Structure 1
């Protein structure tokens, strides 16, 4: 749909083919969190910053509510604070703030617990409710002239044509965005990027009545998963301590993101399991560890889980790629957990040929 938006704004006639009758994949199973701070320096951070601006422009036109904005990365451990302070001194640190405990208490008293050493605040992030936003985006694009072929699978792609069973569509330009289906179309391109699948565990949690988060929240564990933090000099000391204190969390690829829905519920996650094919079984321990980390950070007291789900996305040797696989045919894939945050900018690169600086 990001490609459809860019194409329709160029005055092109656009058709989108989607294998499912409604969106059921990773696009609605995520946090709805447009993440800028913490993305890898260079192309991914620049794409996220550009995509954030496009989201802010498109959302009100498409009737998509921005549930909240901003991000607090809360430092629980002594070793986390220098990592966050180091980020302030990079090109990606512009407009970020370090909040000591007193400043955090003034800004967000519900997050200023006694064990929190301070927080990095970013104003860049936006949060939408993905399970509704994606369909609203589709309907808005449809109202602008994009034709959708829902519930139809692409059988074959050639230069100038796309075959759907007995029907064949003609096009001067074709962009293939297959999501986690890395074997049906152009599998050799995914193999070149050492792509496999990543499965994550997510939860919707009901906090105490009236609880207001106000912004997205992340924890120490995020600092060793997000490349924008893990590349910094101080990250290794933090990881060494986490390996001693949280070995099970690291084994399951758990870090913490918490965002809030309009109805007050929290979306909480997540874990990461990798493989060529993902089993449908998720150990209960993963959920327990995620909830324990949430309680350590937010001290919510009583709460209960209302929904559980998993998501699957492709994961490879870099964050995303654009490959010309046939004359007039491009393969575009995010092969990391950055799709919500970078897709709009990637579509501009793909269709307008404007490469984001690295």
Structure 2
């Protein structure tokens, strides 16, 4: 042990990198451990969309806005392409329109607005058929996660002198020493960002956090050449799952109607998110199946349900399915953010809402401020 670090971070996904950045900006010497050769968890498996709209009022809304600003800063400094900005939530039913119009009236962000059918069709000609309106949020941004997360790691290493120990498993932390598969490393404090691994480190503390793994089916599709989205796109299916809309007029009625009209979508936890890449392909998701040990099987029936919702918005199915994959992330129905402090200089942090990347940088600042003052 020739070098001592102020902070050791376990996990090189978005949340781990956010903690590394927050500490490095305070002048701390940071080391990041990951048992894989590169980030390979939820951060790179999902859409790469950083959301602002729809978060619960208060702390989560503030985190989302702060994180979005930090994402923009990091992208500019690290040379990461922002694929597109903004989010359009298409109301296919009047109940969804009622809820989204009420949400727009809460002034969630400057530039947010709800457009009624005539204006919506004029502004968003991509959306076909009968729609009850479109909610537009300008703040969302999307990165290509498989390239963005490694680039952030490289930028942290080069610009902020953050050390990375890849293919290195951490088995414990005691009296300022991190026990790893490649030998001990000295550190004054430890942050564990375990993703969906609730058992390897401090499993006893996480056992009471009501955490479970969520399995999501994802696709990358292609429409005809020239097809272009206005930003990310969502639909009615996501409205009842947005904490920021809870209790607004129309939400309960929409949920009841969806249970009747789209019972299979609801049973498989499907929420449509479509986000476009620079090559014109569109990342589409996602289902949600909760399981302590999710399998790796991709169901064609579930993919078809996702594609059905996509076709309902754009009037047709895609020309090509480029690829399919499964993402796994941490989920809790009652604790969207789990922070445990098993020791004064240790924090275990799990973003358990499926929106970890969206809030990551603000959570990192909060944790580091708590540890170092």
Which category of TM-score, normalised to the shorter sequence, fits these structures?
over 0.9
CA gap 1:141/1:222 in 2 versus in 1, 3 angstroms: same
Determine the structure 1 residue equivalent to 2:342: 325
Q: Mean alpha-carbon deviation: is it higher for 221-230 or for 335-344?
A: 221-230
Runs of 4+ in structure 1 off by over 3 angstroms are: none
Between the aligned partners of 2:247 and 2:283, the Cα distance in structure 1 is 27
RMSD between superposed Cα atoms in Å: 1.5
Q: Which runs of 5+ in 2 are unaligned?
A: 1-16
CA contact (8 A) 1:222 1:256 kept: yes
Match of 1:172, SS state, is: strand
Matches within 5 A, 1:34-49: 34-49=50-65
Give the TM-score normalised by the residue count of structure 2: 0.91
Matches within 5 A, 1:284-299: 284-299=300-315
CA contact (8 A) 1:315 1:335 kept: yes
Q: Mean alpha-carbon deviation: is it higher for 244-253 or for 78-87?
A: 78-87
Deviation at 1:224, TM superposition (A): 1.5
Q: Deviations over 1:71-99 (max 9, x none)?
A: 11111111111100111233636531011
Determine the structure 1 residue equivalent to 2:3: none
Determine the structure 2 residue equivalent to 1:158: 174
Q: Deviations over 1:226-259 (max 9, x none)?
A: 2222442321000111011000000000010000
Residue 9, structure 1, aligned to residue 10, structure 2: no
Determine the structure 2 residue equivalent to 1:139: 154
Between the aligned partners of 1:161 and 1:235, the Cα distance in structure 2 is 50
Q: Which runs of 5+ in 1 are unaligned?
A: none
Determine the structure 1 residue equivalent to 2:294: 278
Residue 116, structure 1, aligned to residue 100, structure 2: no
Count of residue correspondences: 353
Determine the structure 2 residue equivalent to 1:178: 194
Q: Mean alpha-carbon deviation: is it higher for 137-146 or for 223-232?
A: 223-232
Match of 1:126 among 132, 141, 156: 141
Give the TM-score normalised by the residue count of structure 1: 0.95
Match of 2:257 among 234, 241, 256: 241
Q: Deviations over 1:163-209 (max 9, x none)?
A: 11351111111111111110111112222221111010000001111
Residue 56, structure 1, aligned to residue 72, structure 2: yes
Determine the structure 2 residue equivalent to 1:251: 267
Match of 1:20 among 33, 36, 58: 36
Residue 343, structure 1, aligned to residue 360, structure 2: yes
Deviation at 1:301, TM superposition (A): 4.7
Determine the structure 1 residue equivalent to 2:206: 190
CA contact (8 A) 2:109 2:139 kept: no
